[in-house]
Structure 1
Amino acid sequence: MSEADEITRQLLRYSPDALVVVDAGGIIRFANETVRDLLGYEPGDLTGKPIEVLVPERLRQRHGSYVANFLRAPRNREMGVTVADLAAQRADGSEFPAAIRLAHFHVGESLLVAAAIRDMTERRRINAALVLAREEADRANRAKSRFLASASHDLRQPLQTVRLLNASMLRMVNDTDVGALLRRQEQAIDSMTRLLNGLLDVSRLESGAIELQLVDVRLDDLLDELRQQFEPIVRARGISLYVTAENVGLRTDRTLFTQLLENLLGNALKYTDRGSVSLTGTLQSDALHLDIEDTGIGIPQEKVEHIFDEYYQVDSSGTRRAGVGLGLAIVREVSRLLGYTVAVYSQVGVGTRVRVSIPRDMLVARDAVADPQAARHAARSASRPRLILIEDNEGVRVATELFLQLEGFEVTSAGSAGEAQQLLESMRGDELLVVDYHLEGSRTGLELVSGVRQRRGVEIPAVVLSGDLPSVLRVQKTPIPRCRFLSKPVDTEALLQAISELATG
């Protein structure tokens, strides 16, 4: 016997799987040594016995149909891959979950089938543990979503109060030094707002809870706003900021697109201690490419693939940088939602370039996009309506009322749905409603708006504020005439703009 033949013989005898060979009549013709450990039979004792001795009695009828089907069209395959309780029976009558692989061959004119049998007890246990862990993770994720939905509103309320009080004080003081301090405070509040939004937005983005609100946007207008937003930071850092782009329009979700660029610029500035940061837009045949480039510390090649992970920060200098590592995770999710691609090129000690590519079919003619500056000017020159403010958080209500009064509005407020009902009954007809969406109990500000509109038969203009705006908009799928939705903590300029636009509508 050759060495190869001996290896083959020993392999059959001592295969890691129990191996039996069965003829077309279902009689066992061969069993290897492994059946002793797995099935409790001596190999010779199985020879000549029907294969059913290895099948639990409860499964024998079904096993017979499997055998018949296999013999009609024999092929090498896994036995019963769709059967969850496939099992084998030991000599002592006990069972174990089994995986059985079938292979057919001929000896002369005789068809024989080899069955390799493996004990799946441990694998089934591991799979069950994995399923249980997945179910626990899903439950935890649902609980997190419920927490975010409720905590989002509660966390934003005090920040809303602080922002409005800051805006009010800026309008009240004439002292230059105090004004400078208040503007510094305003920047800190904006930073707190962005951090809170980042913590809450990543989970909503990943869960698909954000729906796109597509509008036509002038790229140069949006980039000009970003330049103004980051100029104080750039001056404080002693670096240069260059923003240039093609005069094009694009159809996008303005809020998400702005958030994407804000995070990329903010990240570039965070890791640049000297030199410059630039945002350049170039229109090419395939796409509009936005390149955010810095002369910062750069990213080691082995870390580039991780920078879009949540809470991951790169700082090869060892200096602690502000933030918690969510900015680029938001970029990843927003770019996926908007259909953009993001690529990163970096060299340690030289700098980093991030390229956002926007497909050309998402671009629109710039001249067809309305001029936002003209719209804002027209809205601000409109007459000022009497405002009815409905807000059940006392701190937020007082701060909002003070801010609006300093802006020259006549404001009447209510701190509950019950108070609001009495106030709404005495309306004169020239009012505009500013309502918090989440009121006490299960009542919503939007229900109050709908109720007074039905009673009066008039689409009374309304601004609805919410600390969990994406969830509100997901429930309210159809547009509501003469109604604006704003997220808390509300941007004071956005609030004034919404009031002005509704007053002229």
Structure 2
Amino acid sequence: MADQKNHKCDESALRMAVEHLGQGIAVFNQARQLDVSNDQFQLILDLPPALCEAGTHLVDIVRHLAERGDFGDGDIGQLAQSRLDDIEQNTSGLLERTGPNGQYLEVRTHRLPNGGLVISYNDISARFEAERALAQVNQSLEKRVQERTKALTHLNTELERARAKADAANLDKTRFLAAASHDLLQPLNAARLYTSTMVERAHGTDLARLATNVDDALVAVEDIMSALLDISRVDSGAIKPAISTFSIRELLKKVKVEFEPAATAKNIQLRLVGADALVSTDRRMVARVLQNLVSNAVKYTAEGGAVLVGCRKRGRRLRLDVIDNGIGIDKDQHSLIFTEFSRLEPGARIAQGLGLGLSIVQRFGQALNLDVEVDSVPGRGSRFSIYLPPSADAAPPPPAAAPAPPPNASMAGKQILCVDNERDILDAMQALLDGWGCDVRMARSLKEISQKNLLEGWVPDIVLMDYHLDQSSGLDAIQWLRQTVGGHLPAILITADRSAQVQNLAEERNVSVLPKPLKPAALRALMSRLT
């Protein structure tokens, strides 16, 4: 009696525990007769109450499901036996679709120590549908990604084509500018030479003022063209920074040679405070920046004024200053002066131009990642500064060179060989150099030098050579002349090509360079220094 009572208590506790589970639970004995099941078991499998009573054989339940079509089409007996075999053999999770509602069930079987069997059914339809929906979303996303990727690939291809076209256009533009700079500057160069000769020969006559006005107008045209070409080269990417180490002192020497004649003409004291510091940046571009700043300083400083160019250390950088006591600029207009074609009223009354010089300064500064600074007070003057990175090299400064001769040093009797393939240029150079008292010989090519025996019994003190000759480059021609004459032959390469390649080649061969249109005062100063 006591054992039966305990057994009934255990069975009652088991039933209560099973009823509170969320899964459908069925416990079968060794004979595979149903001992215990809960309401979820009947609900999930949608079984008639008779099949959920204790003592029901497992085979009867499975056969009912087979007859209902839960296992698909086929022989009922075979379908039922196949499912019974699965239940007996599989103890791991089994996912199957069953029931009239087509829900997804997770079926698990577990053998009891006494040989019985526990089968649990868990309705995972919601999870399965969520996973399927997620898979569909992923598939949709993957499709969208593929479509977007295809669209982006197409867009990138189009952008690449557009970039290639733009690069080709820039290359064409660069080539055009190279040709234009030569073709446009050639006649301007000849005109400058003629007007400079007229100014010198008309000195003290009524024609002097007219000749000076013409020369000033040509200078303005030259400045505008040079500025436009510089801006076009930067914008088209034709100018690429070439970082090197160089001395500030050497840079200032060249500035003095170029601008001292213009400063002297206005009785402006041009003072350059040299520094032995070495900097590491693009020398050509920094030189162009400095040329624009010094040119503006001389241009907008009244007669009798002063311009100071110097370098000083500021923190870890070097500050290159161009200081003048000219007209000055209002503080609220400082940002405007770097805009293309921007000219402030006071400056426009003093000098001609389009207002491109400072735009070039800003563009070159940005290309080199250099800071440009301006400090100015109206009526007192201006300071324009550019900050340069010092070089890590500790090379000693070069020895001080001998003082350069004054720009008006006598050129009388100097033997000058001038080579240019343009007859107008040669005629203009002849007139200019004759006016300086030089002994001049002209040729359009090396072949003409040989045919006319120009070097027979005559050795030039200096050679003025055009870069673009018909059958050779000016640098190759200079090398041939040096080998023919023997010893070192001073030479100046005169060219409209301002590329770094030409400048570097000239330096390697110890040849000075002057750009076209040629400034006679700068030519005379350089010739005096070289001879």
Measure how far apart 1:151 and its partner are: 1.6
Measure how far apart 1:404 and its partner are: 0.9
CA 425–277 in structure 1, closer or farther in 2 if over 3 Å, else same = closer
Question: Are 1:217 and 2:249 an aligned pair?
Answer: yes
Measure how far apart 1:421 and its partner are: 3.4
Question: Are 1:296 and 2:329 an aligned pair?
Answer: yes
Given the alignment, which residue of 210, 222, 239 partners 1:208?
Answer: 239
User: In 2, are the aligned partners of 1:245 and 1:282 still within 8 Å (CA)?
Assistant: no
Given the alignment, which residue of 189, 192, 209 partners 1:160?
Answer: 189
CA 153–199 in structure 1, closer or farther in 2 if over 3 Å, else same = same
User: In 1, are the aligned partners of 2:274 and 2:311 still within 8 Å (CA)?
Assistant: no
User: In 2, are the aligned partners of 1:417 and 1:439 still within 8 Å (CA)?
Assistant: no
Which residue in 2 is equivalent to 1:123? 152
User: In 2, are the aligned partners of 1:340 and 1:357 still within 8 Å (CA)?
Assistant: yes
Which residue in 1 is equivalent to 2:480? 451
Deviations 1:165-215 (A, max 9, x none): 122112212434432333333333222222221112234455335757944
Helix, strand or coil at the partner of 2:508: coil
Which residue in 1 is equivalent to 2:132? 30
Deviations 1:16-39 (A, max 9, x none): xxxxxxxxxxx994236xxxxxxx
Measure how far apart 1:423 and its partner are: 3.3
> Aligned partners of 1:426, 1:232: CA distance in 2, in Å?
37
Amino acid of the structure 2 residue aligned with 1:30 = R
User: In 1, are the aligned partners of 2:275 and 2:310 still within 8 Å (CA)?
Assistant: no
Q: Which has the larger radius of gyration?
A: 2
> Aligned partners of 1:493, 1:190: CA distance in 2, in Å?
12
> Aligned partners of 1:351, 1:407: CA distance in 2, in Å?
37
Which residue in 2 is equivalent to 1:332? 362
Please, what TM-score do these two structures have when normalized by structure 2? 0.57
Measure how far apart 1:251 and its partner are: 4.8
CA 434–130 in structure 1, closer or farther in 2 if over 3 Å, else same = same
Helix, strand or coil at the partner of 2:499: helix
> Aligned partners of 1:478, 1:244: CA distance in 2, in Å?
26
CA 185–421 in structure 1, closer or farther in 2 if over 3 Å, else same = same
> Aligned partners of 1:226, 1:456: CA distance in 2, in Å?
33
User: In 1, are the aligned partners of 2:263 and 2:270 still within 8 Å (CA)?
Assistant: no
1:49-128 to structure 2, matched below 5 A, reads 88=143, 99=145, 119-128=148-157
> Aligned partners of 1:457, 1:291: CA distance in 2, in Å?
42
Deviations 1:391-442 (A, max 9, x none): 12121110001111111112221234542332357532522432211122x5
CA 257–478 in structure 1, closer or farther in 2 if over 3 Å, else same = closer
CA 270–30 in structure 1, closer or farther in 2 if over 3 Å, else same = farther
1:312-461 to structure 2, matched below 5 A, reads 313=342, 323-335=353-365, 340-344=370-374, 354-358=384-388, 370=400, 374-376=403-405, 380=409, 384-423=413-452, 426-431=455-460, 432-440=462-470, 442-455=471-484, 458-461=487-490
Which residue in 2 is equivalent to 1:489? 517
CA 364–165 in structure 1, closer or farther in 2 if over 3 Å, else same = farther
User: In 1, are the aligned partners of 2:412 and 2:437 still within 8 Å (CA)?
Assistant: no
Which residue in 1 is equivalent to 2:178? 149
> Aligned partners of 2:456, 2:195: CA distance in 1, in Å?
31
User: In 1, are the aligned partners of 2:294 and 2:322 still within 8 Å (CA)?
Assistant: no
Query: Please, what is the CA RMSD of the aligned residues?
Result: 5.1
User: In 1, are the aligned partners of 2:465 and 2:493 still within 8 Å (CA)?
Assistant: yes
Range moving further from structure 2, 209-218 or 149-158: 209-218
CA 288–323 in structure 1, closer or farther in 2 if over 3 Å, else same = same
Please, what TM-score do these two structures have when normalized by structure 1? 0.59
Deviations 1:277-326 (A, max 9, x none): 9878684552554376864355469xx3x8646x3637699x99964453
CA 180–271 in structure 1, closer or farther in 2 if over 3 Å, else same = closer
> Aligned partners of 2:381, 2:216: CA distance in 1, in Å?
27
Measure how far apart 1:493 and its partner are: 2.9
> Aligned partners of 1:149, 1:457: CA distance in 2, in Å?
34
CA 171–119 in structure 1, closer or farther in 2 if over 3 Å, else same = closer
User: In 2, are the aligned partners of 1:250 and 1:363 still within 8 Å (CA)?
Assistant: no
User: In 2, are the aligned partners of 1:250 and 1:364 still within 8 Å (CA)?
Assistant: no
Which residue in 1 is equivalent to 2:25? none
CA 150–398 in structure 1, closer or farther in 2 if over 3 Å, else same = same
> Aligned partners of 1:399, 1:230: CA distance in 2, in Å?
25
User: In 2, are the aligned partners of 1:219 and 1:250 still within 8 Å (CA)?
Assistant: no
Helix, strand or coil at the partner of 2:208: helix
> Aligned partners of 1:478, 1:232: CA distance in 2, in Å?
30
Which residue in 1 is equivalent to 2:494? 465
Helix, strand or coil at the partner of 1:208: coil
CA 126–285 in structure 1, closer or farther in 2 if over 3 Å, else same = closer
CA 28–449 in structure 1, closer or farther in 2 if over 3 Å, else same = farther
Helix, strand or coil at the partner of 1:131: helix
User: In 1, are the aligned partners of 2:411 and 2:436 still within 8 Å (CA)?
Assistant: no
Helix, strand or coil at the partner of 1:30: helix
Helix, strand or coil at the partner of 1:136: helix
CA 420–330 in structure 1, closer or farther in 2 if over 3 Å, else same = same
CA 216–497 in structure 1, closer or farther in 2 if over 3 Å, else same = same
CA 190–362 in structure 1, closer or farther in 2 if over 3 Å, else same = farther
Task: Provide structure 1 residue ranges, at least 5 long, that are not aligned to the other structure.
Answer: 1-26, 33-42, 55-77, 80-87, 89-97, 101-117, 236-240
1:185-200 to structure 2, matched below 5 A, reads 185-200=214-229
Measure how far apart 1:148 and its partner are: 1.7
User: In 2, are the aligned partners of 1:166 and 1:182 still within 8 Å (CA)?
Assistant: yes
State the percentage of identical aligned residues.
Answer: 26
Task: Provide structure 2 residue ranges, at least 5 long, that are not aligned to the other structure.
Answer: 1-128
